[in-house]
Amino acid sequence: MFTLIVLSSVALYAAVGFYFLPLATFTGPLTRMGMMPESLFGWTKEQPTVKAELLVNASWQEADVLAIGDSFSMPHLWQSVLVERGIKVHTETWESMRNICEDFSGWLDQKGFRGRHVVIEVVEHNFEDRLSRSLHCKKMDYHPMTELPVTPPLQQLPRATANLSGKLSIGIQTRLNILTYQKLIARTDFSTWNMSNTVRMNRVSNGCELFSHAQCRDVLFFADDHVTDFSEQTLNDMKTINQRMSKVHPVWVVVPDKSTAYLHPDKQFWNKAENDLHAPNVLQVLRKAISNKTIDLYPANETHLSTAGYLILGNVIHQSLQP
């Protein structure tokens, strides 16, 4: 009898889990981490087309610009704006470069780079850590990564095929999260929900003018985004790193966290970096795009920019390269 009860329970759990498993077909990192369905938080507005031939990576020797960046640079999307205008870009990740060390200038000569600009791209969330690592670094420790093919980004979010290969428990938890969400938004005072796996949901003012997902009033954010503004010491540290690049023109591209762009736009770091270091004022540019009702600048299910957002970023970087 006990065995029958156990088997029946397992069968019921499997049936329920399999029924809800299609809900766990995630395409964005925030929907996956927060276990919320793409049907509610996946972007729906078509994104711009980027030609495959613009996503190339020039060699060290032929490049006009060296880009050192994180996951915001890996798709080569902002670089495509430069490539389209005849500028050759060689991109390296922080995983390969590790740091900008004291011997960076001589090391760059050894690599055969003859360009004039080095774009240092890093997202706000990781900026202080990247700076600290470089400040204490004496000697470059380069580990070239295998160069994987880069393909054009999706213009539309795929919705046709459900992924049934995930854990049954994820589908069930996603359904429970939907029920919790429905209860929360029934309250007139709903503004935020701290979810699991460092995901936070916030109600965004005029959200349906800024996002295309079904529940456009509410947006998913990374709960560990950098909340406070950077100090004057951060600017001083950037100036110290600049001294290691006397033969090139450093361009600091600090990409605001998604929550900064939408929820904490009054930070002054970007204004100060523009005034002190002639760094592109990325926050100001993205805030202007939001004011102009750019849809899905950062999609609800993403921590990264949309294709439209990357092209805006590419334009501001291109402007910073001009004499």
Would you place residue 169 in the very low, low, confident or very high pLDDT band (cuts 50, 70, 90)? low
Query: How far is CA 285 from each of CA 204, 208, 250, 311, rounded to the nearest angstrom?
Result: 19, 21, 20, 12
Would you place residue 26 in the very low, low, confident or very high pLDDT band (cuts 50, 70, 90)? confident
Query: Could you report the per-residue pLDDT of 261-305, keeping only the tens digit for each?
Result: 999 999 999 999 999 999 999 999 999 999 999 999 999 999 999
Beta-strand relationship, 218-222 and 192-194: unpaired
DSSP 107-168: HHHHTT---SEEEEEEEHHHHHHHHHHHHT--S----PPP-----PPPSS---SS----S-H
Instruction: Provide the angle, in degrees to the nearest 10, between the axes of the packed helices 2-20 and 168-185.
Output: 60
Name the DSSP class of 10. H
Query: Could you report the per-residue pLDDT of 112-135, keeping only the tens digit for each?
Result: 999 999 999 999 999 999 999 999
Written in H, E and C, the secondary structure of 68-84 is: EECCCCCCCHHHHHHHH
Three-state DSSP class for 194?
strand
- For the cut 60, the answer to whether the pLDDT of residue 19 exceeds it is no
Q: What percent of the chain has pLDDT over 70?
A: 89
CB atoms within 10 A of CB 166: 18
Query: Could you report the per-residue pLDDT of 44-57, keeping only the tens digit for each?
Result: 999 999 999 999 99
Chain centre to alpha carbon of residue 273: 21
Three-state DSSP class for 221?
strand
Query: How far is CA 10 from each of CA 22, 172, 311, 320, rounded to the nearest angstrom?
Result: 19, 14, 50, 61
Which residues neighbour 178 within 8 Å (Cβ) at sequence distance 6 or greater?
23, 36, 37, 40
Which amino acid type is present at position 73?
S
Q: What are φ and ψ of residue 4, in 5° steps?
A: -65, -40
Q: Is this structure's pTM higher than 0.85? A: yes
Mean pLDDT of 58-68: 97
